[in-house]
Amino acid sequence: MQTKIEKVLEIWHEYFADEERQYSEFESSDIEYFVGCMLYNHFAFSKALENLKTMDLSYDFLSVCGSEYDEIKATIESLEFEDEKAKLAFLQNFIAESKLKYKAPELYLLNRMEYHVDSLAQRYENGADTQRVDFQNPLYR
C-alpha cells in the first residue's frame, strides 16, 4: 500500500481508537471503506455508471471524523497516476489489502465496494460503456 495511504489510515485509526469519537455501529473497517470512497471519488472513473460517478460518503463518518479530514482529503487529492487503469489497479489493491485486516462480519462495506469496483474493472477489460444499472441479484443469474 502506498505510504500516503498508510499515513491516512494511521491518522484515522488513531483518531477513532478513542471510543468517544465513534458513532453507533462503528466498525474499524469503516475507515478503509471511507478512504476507498474518497479514492474512488478522486479518481473520477469515466466508465463508472452515471449514477455511481461518486460513492456516497456516510454522514455518520463525516460528522465525527474530525479536523484531520482536510489533511487526509489533501493527501488523497495529491495522488497522481498515468491513466485510469492504473488508478483502478491502485484502488483494487487498496481494497484487497484492507480486507486482509478484518474478519467476515466487518467486511460488509468493503465487500460492497469491491463488487462495484470489480464491475468497473470488467468494463475497462471489455472496453464497454454501461448505459444502465442492472438491479438483478448476481447470485441468481
CA–CA gap between residue 119 and residue 39 (Å, rounded): 16
Burial bucket for residue 32 (CB in 10 Å: 0-12, 13-18, 19+): buried
Which pLDDT value is given to residue 127?
A: 78
CA distance 130 to 110: 23
139 pLDDT exceeds 90?
Answer: no
Q: At what angle do helices 29-43 and 68-77 cross, to 10 degrees?
A: 50
Return all residues near 45 (Cβ < 8 A) that are at least 6 apart. Answer: 53, 84, 87, 88, 120
pLDDT on residue 59: 67
- pLDDT of 58 > 80? The answer is no
Q: What is the pTM of this model?
A: 0.68
The letter for the amino acid at 90 is F
pLDDT value, residue 140: 47
